[in-house]
Amino acid sequence: MTTSKVLFKKALKLHQSGELVCAASFYKEVLKRQPGHIDAIFFLGTLNLQLGCLNAATMFLLQVIAKQPEHSAAHNNIGTALQGQGKVKEAIERFQQAIALKPDYDDAFYNLGTALQAEGKLEEAADNFQKAIVLKPGCALAHYSLGNVFREQRKIDKAIACQKLAIQLKPDYAMAYNNLGSLYQELGKLDEAVESYDHAIELKPDYAMAYNNLGSVLQELGKLDEAVESYDHAIELKPDYAMAYNNLGSALQGLGKLDEAIESYDHAIELKPDYAMAYNNLGSALQERGKLEEAIESYDHAIELMPDEASAHKNRSTVLLLTEQFKEGWAEYEWRLLTKDHRLRNFQQPQWDGKRLNGRRIFVHAEQGFGDTIQFIRYLPRIQSLGGHVIFECRRDLYRLLRECAGIDDMVERTSRNTMTLPFDVHIPLLSLPGIFGTTLDTIPSKVPYITVDSKLVERWNKLLDNDRNFKIGIVWSGNPKFKNRSRSCSLVDFLPLADIPGITFYSLQKGKDSEDTLHQSKGMHIINLEDRLKDFADTAAIMTNLDLIISTDTAVVHLAGAIGKKVWVLLHRIPDWRWFLNRYDSPWYPEMRLFRQTELDDWSSVFVQVKEALLQEKLKGDTDGQHCKFIPKCP
């Protein structure tokens, strides 16, 4: 007859080989023959824990402790079962009991660390993971988990070091490679992130999360087609992967495939009905599609689920402002300051509330893009009219242009340190001013020019351009690539129909990589690339003053042209940025501006048909007058 001892050994061997169900039957047979067999009870509890049968596991392990109160492993495993049931505080007590009974219990220190991390007690969690590592330096899992705590604490360099050490100890540690990729991505080291995700996938080809993360970094690199492919892999591996569907929608939206994007966001929401960010992204796609009421509804869903989700409020504000609902729109627009893309400036001094300043010093700091600064600097004289001493901060590329601008008492250049050396009493972000002043269509400060141009620079450029007797047009076709917004960019090729009009010289005011397009896309156009001569916006303003017309997509150049009172034609997406509103062909911001809008989504050809017709009329008018209108501003 087989003894209990033999049966137990058989059960243990099966357990160790992973044959849990068979092992359980042998443990139970042992207990039939010897009901008080502590080890059989303990391992049957542990086996149930491994199977996820947490109530059964706890029941068996409590029997062990009833018979042997100092059984540290039983306390530890009960803690694990309790944590699995969401009873984290009780789990912490059990892990602490296990450690009290066995002070060198590395597993209990590790488990205590995970429970404390779940409770948000990160310092204590890190301390316990480090104790586990001291007791067992070769434990890759402890280094990995410590790295995750450091990441939560924003100690990114330490987190990276931990993940690297985990990989060194366990070269096939796919999860550590995945987390290392995420850390590199946070630091903007995108190539290193791609390499790490690739390693994770190579080690674990069915790793859906790594495919999803790889997609996100490829998307950040602008490789949208590859990102879509990676998200598709993630979904294929994990069909209920709501986050991958949401991210896929974002990539498809970036490619202009709005209907597919909307379908993907809908799928994410179907899988996860409380997915606030998917509702937010769905709103963005619907907005771009021109379905503004549905977009608002989707943003409202996102806000209902996550009332403090700043990006949903900010996105909602853009629809409200686009449709001229100013009061609510300006209020919602303040949420932009809390979005992850916004660098929040923390000052001890309060933010200005719009009341009279009576000689107090107010620090106005520029934000977002160059065009935003140029557009909204018009409000500074109004602050002075309320008794404010205005200290204005802007980036270097605008400093020379704006230093003589009305409404500024002191001007400082923004540095990478975001510090402010001059004393001030209150502060205000520049784009909060329209809301502070309760701006409506009727109250926009629209008098131009409100930026003056250096007369010496104007004269210098006049000498360089005066020999050109053609109608001179400055053109820009692409916005700042930092914003990755295809709605602000067309192609130089789209301008080619205008080359049929005789007597025109095109001057490229395009900056950056896209200016290289002039070298190989400008066949048939008489175009001169001025990029190398554009030191900053002061030069751009001086050049524009000597041109007859500016034609550009929605870029900083159109704001500069409008601000100096230059005639400017703006090429707009079907659903443009909020500041251009809807269904109008003039701009309440700039009297000399004319708007040309897409009639169909992403169709620039229809825009250039309108532009060509208008340009023929403009040139005919100029030829009839015998001269081209030039605006040369007076310097104060």
What would the pLDDT profile of 549-577 be if each residue is shown by its tens digit?
Answer: 999 999 999 999 999 999 999 999 999 99
pLDDT value for 488: 82
pLDDT value for 634: 33
pLDDT value for 388: 98
pLDDT value for 631: 34
pLDDT value for 622: 63
Question: Could you count the other beta carbons within 10 Å of the beta carbon of residue 115?
Answer: 26
pLDDT, tens digit (0-9, with 9 covering 90-100), for 116-154: 999 999 999 999 999 999 999 999 999 999 999 999 999
For domain 455-625, the CATH class is alpha beta
Indicate whether 628 pLDDT > 60. no
Confidence grade of residue 629 (pLDDT, cut at 50, 70, 90): very low
Asked whether the beta carbons of 187 and 193 are under 8 A apart, the reply is no
pLDDT value for 379: 98
CATH number of 274-341: 1.25.40.10
Indicate whether 29 pLDDT > 90. no
| Separation between Cα atoms, residue 103 and residue 88, nearest integer Å | 21
pTM of this prediction?
A: 0.89
pLDDT value for 519: 58
Mean pLDDT of the chain: 93
> Where does residue 348 fall: left (phi above 0), alpha (psi -120 to 50 degrees), or beta otherwise?
alpha
Indicate whether 12 pLDDT > 50. yes
What percent of the chain lies above the pLDDT cut of 70? 94
Q: What six digits make up the tokens of 119?
A: 């409770």
Average pLDDT over residues 44-72: 94
For domain 1-69, the CATH class is mainly alpha
pLDDT, tens digit (0-9, with 9 covering 90-100), for 516-529: 656 566 777 889 99
For domain 361-443, the CATH class is alpha beta
Confidence grade of residue 512 (pLDDT, cut at 50, 70, 90): confident
Residues of the chain with CATH 1.25.40.10: 1-69, 274-341
Confidence grade of residue 344 (pLDDT, cut at 50, 70, 90): confident
pLDDT, tens digit (0-9, with 9 covering 90-100), for 352-380: 999 999 999 999 999 999 999 999 999 99
| Separation between Cα atoms, residue 415 and residue 427, nearest integer Å | 17
pLDDT value for 178: 98
Asked whether the beta carbons of 381 and 565 are under 8 A apart, the reply is no
SS3 state of residue 130: helix
Between the alpha carbon of residue 628 and those of residues 57, 570, 609, the distances in Å are 89, 20, 23
pLDDT value for 401: 96
Indicate whether 419 pLDDT > 80. no
Among 19-33, 50-64, 197-211, the range of highest mean pLDDT:
197-211
Residues of the chain with CATH 3.40.50.2000: 455-625
Reported in sequence order, the residue ranges of 352-478 that DSSP labels E, i.e. its strands, are: 361-365, 389-394, 410-413, 426-429, 471-476
Confidence grade of residue 627 (pLDDT, cut at 50, 70, 90): very low
More confident residue, 344 or 576: 576
| Separation between Cα atoms, residue 48 and residue 23, nearest integer Å | 11
Beta strand 471-476 pairing with 504-508: parallel
| Separation between Cα atoms, residue 598 and residue 604, nearest integer Å | 6
φ, ψ of residue 95 to 5 degrees: the values are -65, -40
Indicate whether 225 pLDDT > 60. yes
pLDDT value for 482: 54
